[in-house]
Amino acid sequence: MTTKITTVLGIDPGLDRTGWAVLTRDARSVLSLTACGLIHTQAGQELPARLDYIFRQLQQILQTYAPQQVAMEQNFFLKRAVTMANTVMTRGVILLACEQAQKQITFYPPKRVKMMLCGTGAADKKQVQRMVQLTLNLNKPPQPDDVADAVAIGICHLKTSPLNNMLNVKTAFLEKLKAAREQQIKKTVK
């Protein structure tokens, strides 16, 4: 009997600090944390150098852990325009690295991740860290917040992707069925 293991890379993007986490789900739906970390860039560096560093580090993570799937936080900006622009550019290099590695990305709004883990979309950082710790049976919560958020995104993906895949298959089947019916109607009308 082969054991099917699903591996996901969770990413919490940011120019200063990009959190990442590699998690697995085994055939019995047991989740485990393989590795996690922080890609940290120096504020004094030029923007292109910072983006290049994030890109190269993410390429290395993708090559080292070869995740089957990637999940990233979908950002909603209520902050300063400069912060928003920098995060958008960071997301761009992350998307490029994943595209080059032929990895499709699934995006999750922060409230959905919090709802999945904590039961409320209004959970604070400490609650998310604690639920990550409990879910993965870790000795202590992942630190810093960016890493804990990346782990939480990975957990959310691993818990919701099987259902999402079934829904996508059902939707595709229904679309093919509808197209076949339309073709049948066209043949009957002629």
Closest by Cα among 69, 62, 147, 47 to 97: 62
Helix (H) / strand (E) element for 163: namely helix 145-189
Residues 132, 32: contact at Cβ < 8 Å?
A: no
d(CA 10, CA 106): 10
Token reading at 103: 């990895």
**73 annotated active-site:** yes
**145 annotated active-site:** no
SS3 179: helix
Residues whose CB falls within 8 Å of the CB of residue 87, separated by 6 or more in sequence, listed in order: 13, 14, 15, 75, 77
**175 annotated active-site:** no
SS3 126: helix
Determine the Cα angle at 54 with ends 50 and 56, to 5°. Answer: 115
Annotated catalytic residue: which of 16, 52, 73, 175? 73
Active site (catalytic) residues: 12, 73, 146
